[in-house]
Structure 1
């Protein structure tokens, strides 16, 4: 068995070393030669590669790049472990990592609660028109824009994707007296919701929540056909990934009144597009569902632990030049 050897680790984070506590930095420096770089905004590929060259383990967030593609991976021949500060993996070419025998770690559970709570926030905003009420109070428009809403109690919430977040959304929605139904391609054990076929969820739900993952390279699958199958007057909530939904189709669905509204945790429509629909029918929350004090702390700790685990595993693995 090969002996242990020194691991070189490079972490790119928005605040550099200030991202981590002293204890977290000490723990990482105990297992690796650590380099932490402050990267507050997206880097060109060449700059990212230059910062990470020579590293056995790399830690990345989506601040640094939106796409860890095969070209980046090929340009880092020493890379043997990648830890991403994210739940979704669609922005990483996992096939290229597998081909290079590179380990991948992500953070699947650090923001479950806060994203579920944010989803209920989107739901309450759409049902009670809270975003419009604030604008009315600021004098941005007059009484011709209705603030009349509707109650959640007795309504049907349909969840597509009954994983961690979907299950927590179901639990929270139950507290409002909503009937919760769901569709998932996998078997799910839950008492918080009733399993139905996809068409039945779309046809019966007053509100549909997308809580499913996005597959790399797959086009938007929630398209005009699925929107047409939704109950007329329903609301679509997307706290997951904007790439799940055909933006043109959902905008058209809202404009013609088939959908009562669409809320998405990102910024995907510009002012000209929003002008084509009634005020308040589209709500964008600028990718803030995860952004809470608790989730930030939990995410950094989970990221630290994944970096430590990768370094520990790789210390006893032979270097690529030693293989065979």
Structure 2
């Protein structure tokens, strides 16, 4: 098998090369994002490996199909960047459904602590020999309420972490987890009661801009918003207006709705032309990290292992347990697999 590997970073290469010792596949690493113009580079390969910020739209899928590609192996859990309707019947799409939920939940907790206690600002001050603490006041997490939107594995681990701080929990999920010992509530009640709101849900039509002008108006003044899921869960312009008007205490974002061009890249010697992102970073009560919540040794090991296993399963012609497709999502069953246990 020859695999065209897009948007490859040094850490991708190290972990995939190590895991590939078991398989002996020929991996060709491109530092380009996958998109309509770069899809032609996949000609002569058997599969492509793509990441969350690659553009897998109709033109890209058609170009890959014309190049002979029948398998797109996502090395991520999220897939809102894929046009599944176009892909159905042409390219099988597999993903890594879970790698390290602890990594993401722990990063969300790190953002919460940093934003609240302003340790990032304190670090910069003391490096300049400024040892004042004016403006660095936070609040006790103990006794406060954490509102958790989405109670999958990551959300539930984050809940456990918050309980370790002595926080109260209120959660929202349209499909509540069974046998839990925390309280579920409506979104409106969660917004009203929470001192910290953390998003742990996928991006769907129902969750797009789940944080918007209306929902922000229902939140506690001074509350914190955390997002380690998908950027478009938050209406960034509404968030900026709320920050300007001091209706919320701050926001910590590991994702951004227009992150594709910037995140994972070095723009330190360039001017960032995205005025919205520049404005966000300028707020003293906003903390932005560049989609690094997943970035642990354990997660990278799991990503490489599952992605290459998905490719092996495709190569062998057997079932694809990690396949996702348009027909599955349309039926809402997540299982339209035929006799071959593939989606088509």
TM-score (norm 2): 0.78
Compute the displacement of 1:287 (Å).
Answer: 1.3
Task: Answer yes or no: is 1:298 the counterpart of 2:302.
Answer: yes
Q: How far, CA to CA, are the matches of 2:280 and 2:152 in structure 1?
A: 32
2:29 to 16, 23, 38: 38
1:28 to 19, 23, 31: 23
Determine the C-alpha separation between the residues in 1 that align with 2:176 and 2:35: 42
In the TM superposition, 1:298-317 aligns within 5 A as: 298-313=302-317
Q: Secondary structure at the residue paired with 1:116? A: helix
Report if the CA contact (8 A) 1:90-1:216 is conserved: no
Greater Cα shift, 263-272 or 183-192: 263-272
Matching residue of 2:9: 14
2:59 paired residue among 71, 85, 89: 71
Q: How does 1:227-306 map to 2 (within 5 A)?
A: 227-266=216-255, 269-275=276-282, 277=283, 279=284, 281-306=285-310
What's the CA shift for 1:271? 4.3
1:149 maps to what in 2?
138
Question: Which of the two has higher C-alpha Rg?
Answer: 1
- Corresponding residue number in structure 2 for 1:163: 152
Deviation string for 1:185-210 (max 9, x for gaps)?
A: 11312435211111111110110001
Does structure 2 conserve the Cα–Cα contact (< 8 Å) formed by 1:59 and 1:307? Answer: no
Q: 2:2 touches 2:28 (CA, 8 Å); kept in 1? A: no
Q: Number of paired residues?
A: 298
1:37 match: secondary structure: strand
Contact (CA 8 Å) 1:17, 1:36: kept in 2 or not?
A: no
RMSD of aligned C-alpha atoms?
2.7
| 2:80 is the alignment partner of 1:90 | yes
Q: How far did 1:40 drift?
A: 2.8
Q: List alignment gaps of at least 5 residues for structure 2.
A: 260-275, 320-344
Is the CA contact 1:87–1:108 (under 8 Å) kept in the aligned structure 2?
yes
Give the direction of change, closer, same or farther, for the CA distance of 1:216–1:197 in structure 2 (3 Å limit): closer
Question: Equivalent residue of 2:23, what SS?
Answer: helix
Q: 1:140 to 1:303 in 2, by over 3 A?
A: farther
* Alignment-derived partner of residue 183 in structure 1: 172
Aligned to 2:70, which of 66, 80, 83?
A: 80
SS of the residue corresponding to residue 59 of structure 1 reads strand
> C-alpha displacement at 1:89, in angstroms?
0.5
Structure 1 residue 164 displacement after superposition: 1.5
- The change in CA–CA distance for 1:104 and 1:217 in structure 2 (over 3 A counts) is farther
The Cα of 1:87 is off from its aligned counterpart by 1.2
Contact 1:170 1:192 in 2 (8 A): no
TM-score w.r.t. structure 1 length?
0.82
SS at structure 2 position matched to 1:159: strand
State the distance in 2 between where 1:162 and 1:140 align. Answer: 43
